Homo-oligomer: A and B are copies of this chain.
Amino acid sequence: MTVTYEKVVYSFEDLCEDKKLLGNKGANLVTMVKMGLPVPPGFAVSVDAWKEYKRTGQLPEQAIEDALSRLERRMGRKLGDGLAVSVRSSAAVSMPGMMDTVLDVRDNSTMMDSIRKVFDSWETPRAIEYRRLNNISAEMGLASIVQAMVFGNRDELSGTGVLFTRNPSTGERGLFGEWLQGALGEELVSGRRTPQPLDEMKKMLPDAYRQLEEVARTLEQHFKDMQDIEFTVDSGKLYVLQTRNGKRSGQAAVKIAVDMAKEDILSQEDAILRMTPDDLRSIIYPHIHMPERYQPLTRGLNASPGAATGIVVFYPEEAAIRAKKNEDTILVRPETSPDDIQGIAAAKGVLTSRGGLTSHAAIVTRAMGKPSVIGASQLEIDLKKEQFSVNNVVVKKGDIITVDGDTGYVYTGALPLIETEATAEFNTIMSWCDDLRWIGVMGNADTAEAVTQVRRFGGDGIGLCRTERQFNTPEALAAIREFILGETREELDKVLQRLRELQKEDFVAIFKALQGMPAVIRLLDLPLHEFLPRDSKDSRVRERIMRLMEVNPMMGHRGVRLAITNPEIYKMQIDAILEAKREVEANISLMVPQVITLQELLWVRRIAEGSGLKVGMMMETVRACMRAGPLARAADFFSFGTNDLTQAVFSFSREDAEKKFLTTYFDKGILQDNPFQVLDVKGVGRLMETAIHWARQEKPNLVISVCGEHAGDPRSIEVFYRMDIDYVSCSPFRIPVAKLVAAQASIKDKREHKARLKTLTQQEVKC
């Protein structure tokens, strides 16, 4: 029965699955029909019809009448006489909540009007704005789906329900959902009536329930993903109204992906590709340490796991702006809507006074792996004053609060957070990623504790061990100050020896924590004056600070420049490393910061001569990039410091730029992303590529890595993979995400290669 009604109206039984013609929803319904699933019959007024309507203002009335007659014949009922239809939109790209829907249409002319209404809703201001924001072409258009309505409120053997094919919170297998007897779907969704767990349906309508289980299995197999299904039972007969991939928590996403791979529904590669960085983040996300110690302010629903601390903001736009400035925020709203997505993505956590576990805010934050407390009804939010009050406490914009998505509690102030334990499935996904990824993922760690974290998160080693922090203990600080103020050779030698002993202790602790992992230790990169107390009353100290002060400290007397003027500091550090190495064997390399000339690198190599340590360098100045060839010959490895490099490429001082004008740059669309968070591919990226090209020309097997902030950013990691970087080194928490993205990049790259090869083969066949 593949009769086409003038090619602009398609009955579901026509089995046309073209999304361009029928939109997403329409094509999915046809797919279900094709799979033999019980779908209420209907037809689609296609995108071609919309095009014609747009051009002429005319609907293909005859074709619609014909399709309707056919529907009436199939249902054995006439419209308005036992038969009602719904009219919905269906675009090729999901635009949730943007288009109009008309339900319970019972006569022909309202049926035509409804189709017009649906088509017209394509041009509403909010739809236009949504398309602009999401880069959706207005030419794409939409279809209108006319479908027989089924009635969950027809009798006692009727009802309506929604279900996930697996638990969306934990990922556990088995149907998970809600059931409302004798009710229409709208009653369930609106929350007007309290639903029952799905088990109630099982007791009441065992056959329909078994059929539902079968439907769920079939749909999962077909779509290879957990489904979110709406269904209605009309006098004991099951109808599937809609299916789509279900939103889920990060933990569930991991479990579902691993389980589906084990069930042979997915390949390991597809399981990895299915994961998003947010899925992992929601698992890795910190939780409150000993929450029982603190007095909560109020409580809501624990809608999305993990805890977050941040500045209170009331508008999503502000969350977005502050995120670009690297400020953590908690977005507080009465409720959220699809318009707030970007603000939610930018915030560290979400708190609402209204809504439930299936509300927009709950679903979205869960999907993003973002802690949220939803429906904290005691909250009185004043959006105008940008403050909320609860239990006589007033919290204003800018105050800090902590939300606990694990318990639903909200606290004032910043509570100490700790991380969750990884699940078995999490570890499985990580081990698959380890197998499939081509680039290494190391961790940045300055202390023994951080080294342990890197090991716990499965890092390949320590890509960056900074030594600046070691000078922050009172003893070391006192010693380095003495060094700066010291004048005689004797004084200097004495204090250097003390510093060496202190450093050695630090290194011994770190080396022990390594347990065989390699580590790259970066020699000191700090202007000396930062070690001096700014408010000192000692005139000698103040005179010295004045002398060491700089107009532009970012570009001042730091890094290897310090080693040129004061070689004894690096010498001391290297000696300390060697002494520590004699106590605890470890695989250690040295890294030189801020190198601009070959001579500087050779200078440090001379200081390190005879140590047997490899000597690499940070690529964090533009000049080093320009001299990548000759430097490659003299260096054992390169590690890009993308933070400093970004500052140099942009001629931005990060502190100043973020305070003074970056916000305006985002507002006015001069910059899209904060280049200190997401690698600036066109500028910094191009410089890196150029440098890597020159370096590998000189030394093809030079190990090149990235240890700047971008090393932990998913979008940037994919760029680094394409640049043929050997490893990234990021903060311990970001290691799992980095591994995931690294594996995904490898898989995608392989698939692209294979796709290209296929094109070639096919072309050859043609010839």
The closest CB in chain B to the CB of A680 belongs to B623
Q: Mark A547-568, 1 if CB is under 8 A from B, else 0.
A: 0101111111100010011000
> Does A112 reach chain B (CB closer than 8 Å)?
no
The closest CB in chain B to the CB of A623 belongs to B683
Q: Mark A81-109, 1 if CB is under 8 A from B, else 0.
A: 00000000000000000000000000000
Chain A positions 658-677 with a Cβ under 8 Å from a chain B Cβ: 660-661, 664-665, 668-671
Interface stretch, picked from A207-215, A453-461, A649-657, is A649-657
With A555-B652, A561-B661, A686-B626 known as contacts, the answer to whether A599 contacts B671 (CB < 8 A) is yes
Q: How far is the CA of A650 from the CA of B627 in the complex (A)?
A: 11
- Residues of chain B within 8 A of A594, CB atoms compared: 651
- Residues of chain B within 8 A of A600, CB atoms compared: 670
The closest CB in chain B to the CB of A660 belongs to B557
B647 touches A555 (CB 8 A): yes
> Does A648 reach chain B (CB closer than 8 Å)?
yes
> Does A145 reach chain B (CB closer than 8 Å)?
no
B550, B603, B651, B670: the one contacting A599 at CB < 8 Å is B670
> Does A596 reach chain B (CB closer than 8 Å)?
yes
> Does A682 reach chain B (CB closer than 8 Å)?
yes
B648, B655, B664, B670: the one contacting A597 at CB < 8 Å is B670
A644 touches B648 (CB 8 A): no
B550 touches A660 (CB 8 A): yes
Q: How far is the CA of A553 from the CA of B621 in the complex (A)?
A: 18
- A646 CB, min distance to chain B CBs, angstroms: 9
A650 touches B623 (CB 8 A): yes
Total residues of chain A contacting the partner, CB 8 A: 50
> Does A690 reach chain B (CB closer than 8 Å)?
yes
- Residues of chain B within 8 A of A551, CB atoms compared: 552-554, 653, 655-656
B626 touches A683 (CB 8 A): yes
Q: How far is the CA of A649 from the CA of B652 in the complex (A)?
A: 13
> Does A37 reach chain B (CB closer than 8 Å)?
no
> Does A617 reach chain B (CB closer than 8 Å)?
no
> Does A687 reach chain B (CB closer than 8 Å)?
yes
Chain A positions 696-723 with a Cβ under 8 Å from a chain B Cβ: none
- A532 CB, min distance to chain B CBs, angstroms: 15
Q: How far is the CA of A657 from the CA of B557 in the complex (A)?
A: 7
Chain A positions 514-566 with a Cβ under 8 Å from a chain B Cβ: 548, 550-557, 561, 564-565
> Does A345 reach chain B (CB closer than 8 Å)?
no
Q: How far is the CA of A669 from the CA of B600 in the complex (A)?
A: 10
B627, B670, B683, B690: the one contacting A690 at CB < 8 Å is B690
- A566 CB, min distance to chain B CBs, angstroms: 9
> Does A496 reach chain B (CB closer than 8 Å)?
no
**Interface SS of chain A: helix, strand, loop or mixed?**
helix
A600, A627, A660, A680: residue with the most chain B Cβ atoms closer than 10 Å: A660
With A651-B596, A651-B644, A670-B603 known as contacts, the answer to whether A554 contacts B556 (CB < 8 A) is no
B556 touches A668 (CB 8 A): no
> Does A622 reach chain B (CB closer than 8 Å)?
yes
B564, B622, B653: the one contacting A550 at CB < 8 Å is B653
A655 touches B622 (CB 8 A): no
B550, B626, B649, B665: the one contacting A623 at CB < 8 Å is B649
- A607 CB, min distance to chain B CBs, angstroms: 12
Q: How far is the CA of A659 from the CA of B665 in the complex (A)?
A: 34
- Residues of chain B within 8 A of A650, CB atoms compared: 555, 596, 621-623
- Residues of chain B within 8 A of A687, CB atoms compared: 622, 626
Chain A positions 618-633 with a Cβ under 8 Å from a chain B Cβ: 620-623, 626-627
B564 touches A668 (CB 8 A): yes
B555, B565, B683, B686: the one contacting A596 at CB < 8 Å is B683
A622 touches B649 (CB 8 A): yes
- Residues of chain B within 8 A of A657, CB atoms compared: 555-557
The closest CB in chain B to the CB of A682 belongs to B627
B603 touches A655 (CB 8 A): no
Chain A positions 183-226 with a Cβ under 8 Å from a chain B Cβ: none
With A551-B553, A656-B551, A683-B596 known as contacts, the answer to whether A649 contacts B661 (CB < 8 A) is no
The closest CB in chain B to the CB of A620 belongs to B651
- Residues of chain B within 8 A of A665, CB atoms compared: 564
- Residues of chain B within 8 A of A680, CB atoms compared: 623
Q: Mark A582-612, 1 if CB is under 8 A from B, else 0.
A: 0000000000001011011001000000000
The closest CB in chain B to the CB of A664 belongs to B565
Q: How far is the CA of A670 from the CA of B606 in the complex (A)?
A: 13
Q: How far is the CA of A655 from the CA of B550 in the complex (A)?
A: 8
A661 touches B552 (CB 8 A): no
A565, A622, A669: residue with the most chain B Cβ atoms closer than 10 Å: A622
A552 touches B664 (CB 8 A): no
The closest CB in chain B to the CB of A560 belongs to B670
A555 touches B556 (CB 8 A): no
- Residues of chain B within 8 A of A660, CB atoms compared: 548, 550, 556-557
Q: How far is the CA of A680 from the CA of B599 in the complex (A)?
A: 14
Q: How far is the CA of A661 from the CA of B596 in the complex (A)?
A: 14
With A603-B670, A651-B621 known as contacts, the answer to whether A554 contacts B557 (CB < 8 A) is no
A552, A553, A670, A690: residue with the most chain B Cβ atoms closer than 10 Å: A552
- Residues of chain B within 8 A of A561, CB atoms compared: 661
**What are 13 inter-chain pairs, A to B, with CB distance below 8 A?**
A554-B653, A555-B647, A556-B656, A556-B660, A557-B660, A564-B664, A596-B651, A596-B652, A597-B670, A597-B671, A599-B671, A621-B650, A623-B683
3 nearest CB pairs, A to B: A552-B653, A623-B683, A555-B653
Other CB < 8 Å A-B pairs besides A552-B655, A556-B656, 15 of them?
A: A550-B653, A551-B553, A552-B552, A554-B653, A555-B656, A555-B657, A557-B660, A564-B664, A596-B650, A596-B652, A597-B671, A621-B651, A622-B650, A622-B683, A690-B690
